[in-house]
C-alpha cells in the first residue's frame, strides 16, 4: 500500500497568513448566537494564599458534587480509552488480556469503551434564541470545542495534530484527538502504544495546583443576598448520604484490595484525589457497576452545548469551560498562570477562543509564584490579544478568522465522500497537514490493515453517542449520526469476522466482537422512547435482542476456551482441573449465593488462597460479563414481551418470555412450594404473616429499559409477566403453554435431563411436555394470582414487592368479580376480603377502600338472599365507613367519591327497604327518615344531582305512604313534606331527565294533591297530570325502556285526568273560580272521553289548550 495513498497536503507556511496588523474583529463579526449559561459563584483569593495545600479526602468528598458540576477535564479522571499496539507483527487492542503480558487479574473488559459507565450532560443548555429544531439550518461542524480550537491554533504552533473527521450528511464531525504515530508511513516499525483519547486543554500550570485554586475559589461561599447577585445561583456542597454497605465475602475483599494496589493507566497521582476506605469502596462499586450499565457511553458528556455561527458555517460545539461570577463580575472565565513565565501566543489564543465560543465577556487570570497568589488581572475578551502589555497584539483576529475559514473550507471540500472517515494529521514540528482517507486501510488484505480499520470503526462508533447527544437541536442530524454509528459498528463486526475466517481468531478478538455486538444492540435501545409506536418499539427491541444473543454466544465461547485451556494446564501438572475446582468451591459459577460460614473460614485461611484467586480472577470475571449480558438480554426480551402484550399478541409475548428466562439453570430454580387451597380467609392471613421483601430496590435506571441484577430477579419478572398474560383472558389455545411455563419456573415440572430452561422451550420438546403434563395444566386455575404469588418468593426488593402485591390484590378482586358473575356469593366474598387484606398490607388505602366498597355491595346483594337484612346492611355501612378511614391519607378524589356514593346508596337502599312496610310507627318512621337524610347529605357532599333527586323522590314516596286516616295536623305535615320532596326531585327530573321518572313523580304528586276534598287541590292535581305532556311530546327522543314505561302508564294518566275532571264538575263546595270554569271542565271531560284511543300526547295537548282558553 502506497504511503501517500489517500493523502491531501495542506501546507501551512505558504497558504496560511500570520502576523498582519489588521484591527481585531468584533464579536458580532463571528456571528455568535448564544444565550449565556448560569454562572458558578467564586471568591477572589487574598494575596499570598498558598495553592500548594491540597484538601483532605473528606473535604474532597464534601465538595465533590460541586466539582462534578464544574466538569473540568483535569479534575475528573477520564475512563481509560482504547489503546492500539503492534504485537508480533500485527496491530492488537491493548488491555484485552494475557496475550499482552498483562496481569491476569486485570479487568480488561471494563477498560474498554463499551463498558464505561454512562454520563449525562448538564441541564444548563443555552436557548436557541427562537430557532426551533425543525427550522434549525444545516450544521456544518459538530464536535468538542477543544478540537475546533485546535484547528484555529494550527498556524501558530508546530505541535502534533491528529484529528478524526467523519462526513455525516452535510455535517463534518470532528471526533477529538487520535494519539498515534504517522500512519501509514513507518507503520510496520511502530512498536509503541497508540492511545485514543481526548485532546487535553492547553494549560501550562500544574493540574493539581489549578485544582486546588478552583477548590479554594469556590469553597464555603456565603449565600447570595437578595437582589444583589442574580447571576450566581448557589450550589449545594452538602455530602451525599452514604448507602448502606453490603456484606462482602473474603474473596471479594481480597480482590478489591489487590485492585486498590494496581495503578490506573493514564491517571497520575496529581489527577487522582486520595481516597479513604469509604471512598475507595464507593469507587470500587462504581467501577464494578460500570459493566452492568445497560447503555454504556464511551466518554463523559459535555457540560453544555454551544450553538455557534462562524461566518456562514453553523457549528454545534461541546464545551467544558465553566462560567464564574461574583457581585462585581456577573460573567467571567477563570484561569491560573505562573507569574514567573511569559504568556505564550497559543496560551493567550486559547483563552480568547474559550471566551468567544462560550460568549464570556471577561477573563480573570490569577497570577501565582511557586503556588502563592500574587494578584489578579481582569481583562475584557476583546483585550485578551494584548495581554503581553504591548500595543501590538500577540495575534490578529482577522488573520485567525481568515486562516480558520480557509481550513474549514478545505475540510468541507476534501472530506466529501458520503459516510466517509478521514484523519487530519501533522507530525511534531512539521509544516504541512495530511488528510488520510481511513477507508483505504480496509482495502488491504493484510491482517494488520483489517484489524486497524476494525479498531478505528469501533472507536469512532463508541464516541458517537456523545456527539449524538450534542446534536439535540438538529433531530435530522441525530438520526444520520445514529445510522452512521451503526454502519461503523457493522463494518467493525464484518472485518473481525473476515479476520476470524481468513486468519483464525483469538480470544482477544472474540471479546472485542462481543463488545461491538453489545454496542450495536445499544444503538437500538437508545432509540426507544415513549413517542415510539408499538411496531417501532418491537422492531428496535428485536434487533437489540439479536445482537445481544450474538454477543453472549461469542463471549461464552471465549469462556469455554479459557477454562478448557486452564483445565488442560492443570491436568498436565497433575492438579485438579479448574472447572472442577470452581464447581466444588462455595461460590460456583453462575450462582450469586454464598455461604457466610465459608466466608468466615476463607477470611482466616492461609495466604496461599491468594494465588488461587489470581488464577481464577480472569475466568470469574469473564463469567460475570456473560451473566451481565444475559441479564441485559433478559431485560430486553421482557420489554419486548410487554410491547407484544399491549398489542394483544400473546403468542409472541410468550416466545419473548421464553427468551428472557432461557438461560436459567433448571437446578438453580427454587424448589416447589406446596400451596394450601384458597378456601378460607386464613389462606390470606397466613400468607401475609410469612411474607417479606428482600431489601431496598436498586437505583432507577436512566434508560428506557429496567435493569436486572440477578437470575432470581429475572424469574420474578417473568412470573409477573405470565400473570399479566393470564389476566388478559385472551389466551385461548395458548393457555396450556402459559401454564407449563409457570409450572417450569415454579419447579412443579422439572425435566431431569435438561440443564437450562431454553432446552425445555425448544418447540418440539415444549410441545411434548405440554402433552405429557396435560392433566396438570388443565387443572391449573387462578394462574395470574398464583404467578404473582410465586414471583414474591424468594423475597424480591421493596419496589418490586409493592408492584407484585398490588397486582396480587387486583387479581383477587378480578377473581371475586368472576365468582360474583356466577352467583357464587360466598367465593366472591372470600376473594374480595382477601384482596382488601393484601392492599391493606402495603398501605394502599385507595384500592383497599375499593375492595371494601365491593364487599359492601355484596352485603346488599346478600340482604336480598336471606332474612338477615338489617345485619347485612349494618355490615355494609361498617365496611364503607372503614373505606372512608382508609382514604383519609389518600388524595384519590375519584375513589373517595365512589366510596361515599356506595355508603349513601347503602343508606338509601336500607331506608327504601324499611319504607316498603309503611305505614309504620312513629319510632320506625324516625329511623327511616334518619337513614334517608344520611343518604341525602352524602350525595350532596359528592354533588351527585341525579341521586339527590332520586333520594328526594324516595322520601316523598315514603311520606305519601304514611298518609292514612283523617287529615289532621300530623297528616298535613307529612303531606307538606312529601310535596316539598316531590318538587325538589322535579328540579332535576323536570329539567335534565324528562322521562319515565318525571311521569311517575307527577302521578304520585297528583295523587297527593287529590287526597284532599278541596276543589283547588283537585284542580292542582289535574294541572300536574297535564304537565306530563312535556314527557309524552318528546317520547321519540327517549330510550326504548323509557318509551315502554310511558306507554304502560299512559292509560292510568288518562284515567286520572278524567277522574279529576269529573270531580271538579261535581264538586259540591267549589269556589267561585272553579264554578266559573265549570263549563271548561265539562268540555275537557268530554274531549277526554271521546279521544280515549288517540295518542296521549295529542289528548294532553288539546286539554291544555282548552284549559288555557
Q: Compute CA distances 508 → 112, 114, 235, 500, 559, whole Å.
A: 12, 15, 45, 11, 11
Q: Compute CA distances 725 → 530, 815, 816, whole Å.
A: 22, 15, 19
The answer to whether residue 89 scores a pLDDT higher than 70 is: no
Backbone torsions φ then ψ of 165, nearest 5 degrees? -135, 130
d(CA 258, CA 252): 10
More confident residue, 272 or 747: 747
Please tell me the least confidently modeled range out of 462-471, 716-725, 729-738: 462-471
What is the model's pLDDT at position 987?
Answer: 86
The answer to whether residue 739 scores a pLDDT higher than 80 is: yes
Any domain includes 707: yes
Total number of domains in the chain: 1
Name the one residue in this structure whose C-alpha cell is 448560569.
38
Q: What is the pLDDT of residues 1059-1068, one digit of tens each?
A: 988 888 887 7
% pLDDT > 90, the chain: 17
Mean pLDDT of the chain: 74
The beta-strand segments (E) located in 36-170 are 40-41, 83-87, 90-94, 141-144, 161-168
Residue environment code for 366-401, b if the CB has 16+ CB neighbours within 10 A, otherwise e = bebeebebbeeeebebbebbebeeeeebbbbbbbbb
DSSP state of 991: T
Q: What is the pLDDT of residues 223-249, one digit of tens each?
A: 444 344 333 333 333 444 444 444 555
What is the model's pLDDT at position 965?
Answer: 58
Q: What is the pLDDT of residues 816-842, one digit of tens each?
A: 999 988 889 999 999 999 999 999 998
More confident residue, 870 or 595: 870
Any domain includes 251: no
The answer to whether residue 118 scores a pLDDT higher than 70 is: no
The answer to whether residue 70 scores a pLDDT higher than 60 is: no
d(CA 1087, CA 1109): 14
Any domain includes 434: no
Any domain includes 915: no
What is the model's pLDDT at position 186?
Answer: 36
What is the model's pLDDT at position 833?
Answer: 92
Any domain includes 802: yes
Enter the C-alpha cell of residue 442.
480496509
Any domain includes 309: no
Q: What is the 3-state secondary structure (H, E, C) of 951-963?
A: HHHHHHHHHHHCC
Q: Which range marks the domain in which residue 722 is found?
A: 648-839
DSSP state of 196: B
Q: How confident is the model at residue 863 (pLDDT cuts 50, 70, 90)?
A: confident
The answer to whether residue 72 scores a pLDDT higher than 60 is: no
Mean pLDDT value across residues 461-484: 74
> Do the Cβ atoms of 156 and 345 come closer than 8 Å?
yes
The whole-angstrom distance between residue 624's C-alpha and the CA centroid of its chain comes to 26
The beta-strand segments (E) located in 693-848 are none
What is the model's pLDDT at position 39?
Answer: 56
Q: What is the pLDDT of residues 493-546, one digit of tens each?
A: 888 888 877 766 677 778 888 888 998 998 899 888 877 889 999 999 999 999
The beta-strand segments (E) located in 39-170 are 40-41, 83-87, 90-94, 141-144, 161-168
The answer to whether residue 280 scores a pLDDT higher than 60 is: no
Q: How confident is the model at residue 278 (pLDDT cuts 50, 70, 90)?
A: very low
> Do the Cβ atoms of 1092 and 1054 come closer than 8 Å?
yes
d(CA 459, CA 180): 13
Any domain includes 691: yes
Any domain includes 664: yes
Q: How confident is the model at residue 29 (pLDDT cuts 50, 70, 90)?
A: very low
Containing 173, the helix (H) or strand (E) segment is strand 171-177
Q: What is the pLDDT of residues 978-1002, one digit of tens each?
A: 889 988 888 888 888 888 888 898 8
Amino acid at each position: 500500500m502506497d504511503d501517500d495513498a489517500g493523502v491531501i497536503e495542506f501546507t501551512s507556511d505558504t497558504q496560511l497568513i500570520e502576523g498582519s496588523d489588521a484591527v481585531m474583529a468584533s464579536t458580532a463579526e463571528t456571528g455568535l448566537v448564544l444565550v449565556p449559561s448560569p454562572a458558578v459563584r467564586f471568591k477572589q483569593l487574598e494575596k499570598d494564599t498558598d495553592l500548594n495545600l491540597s484538601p483532605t479526602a473528606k473535604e474532597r468528598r464534601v465538595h465533590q458534587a460541586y466539582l462534578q458540576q464544574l466538569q473540568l477535564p483535569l479534575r475528573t479522571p477520564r475512563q481509560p480509552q482504547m489503546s492500539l499496539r503492534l504485537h508480533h507483527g500485527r496491530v492488537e487492542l491493548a488491555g484485552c488480556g494475557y496475550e499482552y503480558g498483562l496481569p491476569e487479574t486485570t479487568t480488561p473488559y471494563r477498560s474498554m469503551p463499551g463498558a464505561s459507565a454512562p454520563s449525562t450532560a448538564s441541564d444548563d443548555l443555552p436557548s436557541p434564541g427562537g430557532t426551533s429544531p425543525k427550522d434549525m439550518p444545516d450544521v456544518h461542524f459538530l464536535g468538542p470545542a477543544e478540537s475546533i480550537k485546535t484547528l484555529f491554533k494550527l498556524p501558530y504552533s508546530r505541535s502534533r495534530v491528529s484529528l478524526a473527521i467523519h462526513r455525516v450528511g452535510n455535517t463534518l464531525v470532528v471526533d477529538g484527538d487520535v494519539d498515534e504515530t504517522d500512519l501509514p508511513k513507518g507503520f510496520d516499525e511502530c512498536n509503541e502504544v497508540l492511545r485514543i483519547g481526548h485532546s487535553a486543554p492547553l494549560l501550562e500550570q500544574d493540574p493539581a495546583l489549578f485544582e486546588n485554586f478552583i477548590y479554594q475559589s469556590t469553597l464555603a461561599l456565603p449565600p447570595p443576598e437578595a437582589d444583589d447577585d442574580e447571576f450566581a445561583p448557589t450550589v449545594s456542597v452538602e455530602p451525599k448520604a452514604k448507602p448502606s454497605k453490603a456484606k462482602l465475602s473474603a474473596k471479594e475483599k481480597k480482590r478489591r484490595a489487590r485492585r486498590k494496589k494496581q495503578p490506573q493507566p493514564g491517571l497520575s497521582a496529581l489527577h487522582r484525589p486520595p481516597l479513604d476506605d469509604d471512598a475507595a469502596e464507593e469507587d470500587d462499586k462504581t467501577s464494578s457497576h460500570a459493566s452492568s450499565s445497560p447503555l454504556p457511553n464511551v466518554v463523559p458528556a459535555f457540560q453544555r452545548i454551544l450553538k455557534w455561527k462562524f461566518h456562514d458555517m453553523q457549528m454545534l460545539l461541546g464545551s467544558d469551560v465553566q462560567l464564574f461570577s461574583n457581585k462585581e463580575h456577573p460573567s467571567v472565565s477563570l484561569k491560573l498562570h505562573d507569574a514567573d513565565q511569559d504568556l505564550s501566543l497559543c496560551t493567550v489564543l486559547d483563552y480568547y477562543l474559550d471566551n468567544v465560543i462560550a460568549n464570556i465577556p471577561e477573563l480573570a487570570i490569577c497570577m501565582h509564584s511557586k503556588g502563592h497568589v500574587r494578584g489578579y488581572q481582569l481583562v475584557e475578551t476583546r483585550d485578551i490579544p494584548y495581554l503581553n502589555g504591548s500595543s501590538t497584539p500577540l495575534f490578529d483576529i482577522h488573520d485567525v478568522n481568515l486562516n480558520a475559514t480557509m481550513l474549514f473550507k478545505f475540510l468541507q471540500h476534501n472530506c466529501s465522500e458520503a459516510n466517509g472517515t478521514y484523519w487530519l494529521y501533522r507530525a511534531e514540528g512539521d509544516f504541512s497537514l495530511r488528510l488520510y482517507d481511513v477507508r483505504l486501510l480496509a482495502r488491504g488484505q493484510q491482517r494488520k490493515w483489517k484489524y486497524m480499520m476494525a479498531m478505528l470503526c469501533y472507536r469512532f462508533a463508541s464516541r458517537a453517542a456523545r456527539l449524538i447527544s450534542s446534536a439535540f437541536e438538529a433531530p435530522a442530524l441525530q438520526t444520520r449520526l445514529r445510522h452512521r454509528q451503526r454502519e461503523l459498528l457493522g463494518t467493525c463486526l464484518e472485518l473481525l469476522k473476515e479476520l476470524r475466517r481468513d486468519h483464525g481468531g483469538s480470544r482477544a478478538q472474540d471479546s472485542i466482537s462481543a463488545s461491538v455486538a453489545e454496542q450495536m444492540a445499544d444503538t437500538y435501545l437508545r432509540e426507544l422512547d415513549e413517542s415510539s409506536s408499538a411496531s417501532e418499539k418491537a422492531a428496535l427491541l428485536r434487533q437489540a435482542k439479536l445482537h445481544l444473543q450474538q454477543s453472549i454466544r461469542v463471549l461464552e465461547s471465549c469462556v469455554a476456551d479459557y477454562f478448557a485451556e486452564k483445565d488442560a494446564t492443570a491436568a498436565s501438572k497433575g492438579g485438579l482441573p479448574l472447572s472442577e475446582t470452581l464447581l466444588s468451591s462455595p461460590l460456583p459459577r453462575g450462582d450469586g449465593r454464598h455461604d457466610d460460614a465459608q466466608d468466615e473460614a476463607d477470611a482466616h485461611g492461609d495466604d496461599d488462597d491468594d494465588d488461587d484467586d489470581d488464577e481464577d480472577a480472569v475466568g470469574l470475571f469473564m463469567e460475570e460479563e456473560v451473566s451481565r449480558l444475559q441479564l441485559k438480554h433478559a431485560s430486553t426480551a421482557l420489554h419486548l414481551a410487554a410491547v407484544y402484550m399491549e398489542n394483544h399478541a400473546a403468542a409472541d409475548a410468550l416466545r419473548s418470555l421464553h427468551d428472557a428466562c432461557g438461560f436459567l439453570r433448571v437446578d438453580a430454580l427454587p424448589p416447589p412450594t406446596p400451596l394450601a387451597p384458597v378456601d378460607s380467609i386464613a389462606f390470606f392471613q397466613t400468607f401475609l404473616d410469612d411474607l417479606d421483601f428482600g431489601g431496598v430496590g436498586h437505583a432507577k435506571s436512566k434508560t428506557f429499559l429496567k435493569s436486572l441484577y440477578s437470575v432470581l430477579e429475572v424469574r420474578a419478572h417473568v412470573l409477573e409477566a405470565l400473570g399479566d398474560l393470564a389476566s388478559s383472558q385472551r389466551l385461548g389455545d395458548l393457555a396450556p403453554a402459559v401454564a407449563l411455563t409457570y409450572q417450569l419456573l415454579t419447579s412443579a415440572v422439572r425435566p431431569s435431563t435438561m440443564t437450562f430452561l431454553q432446552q425445555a422451550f425448544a418447540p418440539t420438546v415444549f410441545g411434548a411436555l405440554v402433552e405429557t403434563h396435560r392433566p396438570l395444566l388443565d387443572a391449573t386455575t387462578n394462574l395470574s394470582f398464583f404467578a404473582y404469588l410465586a414471583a414474591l418468593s424468594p423475597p424480591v426488593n421493596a419496589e418490586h414487592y409493592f408492584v407484585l402485591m398490588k397486582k396480587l390484590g387486583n387479581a383477587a378482586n378480578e377473581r371475586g368479580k368472576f365468582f360474583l358473575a356466577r352467583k357464587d356469593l360466598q367465593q366472591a366474598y372470600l376473594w374480595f376480603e382477601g384482596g382488601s387484606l393484601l392492599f391493606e398490607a402495603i398501605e394502599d388505602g385507595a384500592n383497599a377502600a375499593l375492595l371494601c366498597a365491593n364487599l359492601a355491595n355484596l352485603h346488599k346483594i346478600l340482604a336480598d338472599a336471606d332474612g338477615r337484612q338489617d345485619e347485612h346492611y349494618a355490615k355494609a355501612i361498617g365496611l364503607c365507613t372503614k373505606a372512608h378511614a382508609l382514604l383519609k391519607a389518600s388524595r384519590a378524589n375519584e375513589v373517595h367519591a365512589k366510596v361515599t356514593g356506595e355508603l349513601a346508596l347503602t343508606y338509601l337502599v336500607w331506608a327504601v327497604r324499611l319504607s316498603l312496610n309503611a305505614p309504620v310507627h312513629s319510632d320506625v318512621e324516625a329511623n327511616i327518615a334518619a337513614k334517608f337524610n344520611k343518604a341525602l347529605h352524602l350525595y350532596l357532599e359528592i354533588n351527585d344531582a341525579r341521586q339527590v333527586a332520586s333520594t328526594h323522590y324516595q322520601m316523598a314516596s315514603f311520606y305519601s305512604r304514611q298518609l292514612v286516616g283523617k287529615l289532621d295536623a300530623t297528616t298535613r305535615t307529612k303531606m307538606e313534606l312529601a310535596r316539598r320532596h316531590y318538587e325538589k326531585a322535579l328540579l332535576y327530573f323536570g329539567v335534565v331527565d324528562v322521562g319515565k321518572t318525571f311521569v311517575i313523580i307527577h302521578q304520585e304528586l297528583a295523587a297527593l294533591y287529590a287526597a284532599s276534598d278541596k276543589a283547588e287541590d283537585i284542580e292542582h292535581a289535574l294541572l300536574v297530570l297535564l304537565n306530563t305532556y312535556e314527557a309524552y311530546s318528546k317520547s321519540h327522543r327517549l330510550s326504548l325502556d323509557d318509551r315502554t314505561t310511558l306507554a304502560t302508564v299512559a292509560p292510568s294518566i288518562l284515567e286520572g285526568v278524567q277522574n279529576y275532571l269529573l270531580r271538579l264538575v261535581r264538586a259540591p263546595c267549589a269556589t267561585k273560580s272553579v264554578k266559573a270554569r265549570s263549563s271548561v271542565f265539562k268540555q275537557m271531560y268530554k274531549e277526554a272521553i271521546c279521544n280515549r284511543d288517540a295518542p296521549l300526547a295529542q289528548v294532553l295537548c288539546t286539554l291544555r289548550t282548552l284549559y288555557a282558553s
